[in-house]
Amino acid sequence: MSGCKRPLFSLGNRLALCASLVRRGTALADVGTDHAYLPVWLAKQGLVRSAVAADLRPGPLSRARANIERYGVSNVVSVRLSDGLEQIEPCEAEDIVIAGMGGLMMVQILEQAPWLRDPERRLILQPMTKAEELRTYLAREGYFVLREQAVEEEGHVYAVMQVSFCPRQPRENELFRYIGRMTAETESGKKYLTIQKRRLEKRANGLLKTGSIQEARHFMSLAAEIDKILKSESVS
């Protein structure tokens, strides 16, 4: 490992936040790695013990392999052609990053890897869509969101979650489906909460137009809860 303290490239906002949630000295699996930017960056910084850069497609794996060789981290990072976690051994993955894909695809990957139900492992999940469905699955299956933060990239706001299996945790309320552990302590967090509030209000207004008064009130109530969080946490 070279003594260079700075990476040769910068991670985008999404991957940088994912990187910050990876435990130091861990064995990492990066699912859907594409160019292997995340594992290469972590390896170059000396922050992971080992890493598997996995992807379903040969093309991205070829680019990943080229980056691994270019930055001299082939002693730490290996590539793996794998559909989700199918070709990854549990001993190779203490921290698992799944970023840049839809929440429903993430659910499928998690469902097919029962060995993830281990409190010692950490999942770092960054859904591009369907975060609500992902949170619902996690809560139902005994996973616990330890931390959740919002990040902005290319005009969009995304959620990034650090998750562990912890089936004895209290059941989450319905609001968790929409905002998880998100707070209004950062500008990105405020934006995420505001977007979710407006979506719930839009859904409520649509239900009002169809005469579904009770259901509309329910979603307006959820929106009001988010509004309280925004107001209380925005007070200096």
pLDDT at 62 over 90: yes
What is the rounded CA–CA span in Å between residue 18 and residue 124? 6
Mean pLDDT within 62-72: 95
pLDDT at 1 over 70: no
For residue 5, what pLDDT is reported? 45
Q: If pLDDT is split at 50, 70 and 90, which confidence band does 126 have? A: very high
| Phi, psi for 49 (deg, rounded to 5) | -75, -40
Instruction: Give the model confidence (pLDDT) of 10-20 as tens digits.
Output: 999 999 999 99
